[in-house]
């Protein structure tokens, strides 16, 4: 496990495999792979078999879809030159001014505030 893997593992409370997400969203695994490929979700290889995992916080179980505001936030961060690992670190690092983490704020439908902060990083 690399240093960045350990850091992200310490920040992200729970992970889901792509088949788990496919089941939750009631879609094929290929559709989940497409979401990752399109940048709507971030997946990282972890565990002994290096399977792709997505932070559980990115999926809205009640609505059975990707958390509202996540895709736009990821696009902003990517445009700012963030790597997937840096995006995960930013999304799961507590921000006292939010309060909580940006990922938490997104899941609580406070995406506007998160996007504002993501845009501010571009300066």
Sequence-distant contacts of 80-85: CB under 8 A, at least 24 apart: 80/118, 80/121, 80/122, 84/42, 84/44, 85/4, 85/8, 85/44
- Measured CA to CA, the distance from residue 51 to residue 5 in angstroms comes to 13
Under DSSP, the state recorded for 57 is G
Q: Is it the case that residue 81 has pLDDT exceeding 70?
A: yes
Q: What is the total count of domains within the chain?
A: 1
Domain that holds residue 70: 3-121
- Measured CA to CA, the distance from residue 21 to residue 23 in angstroms comes to 5
Residues 6+ apart with CB under 8 A from 100: 94, 108
Q: How confident is the model at residue 1 (pLDDT cuts 50, 70, 90)?
A: low
Neighbours of 98 (CB within 10 A): 15
Q: 32-41, 43-52, 88-97: which range is least confident on average?
A: 43-52
Model pTM score? 0.90
């Amino acid at each position: 496990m690399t240093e960045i893997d350990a850091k992200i593992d310490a920040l992200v409370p729970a992970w889901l495999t792509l088949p788990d997400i496919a089941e939750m969203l009631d879609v094929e695994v290929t559709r989940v792979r497409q979401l990752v490929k399109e940048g709507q979700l971030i997946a990282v290889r972890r565990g002994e078999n290096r399977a792709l995992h997505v932070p559980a916080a990115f999926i809205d179980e009640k609505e059975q879809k990707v958390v509202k505001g996540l895709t736009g936030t990821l696009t902003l961060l990517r445009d700012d030159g963030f790597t997937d690992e840096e995006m995960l670190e930013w999304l799961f690092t507590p921000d006292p001014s939010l309060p909580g983490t940006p990922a938490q704020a997104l899941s609580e439908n406070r995406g506007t505030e998160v996007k504002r902060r993501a845009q501010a990083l571009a300066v």
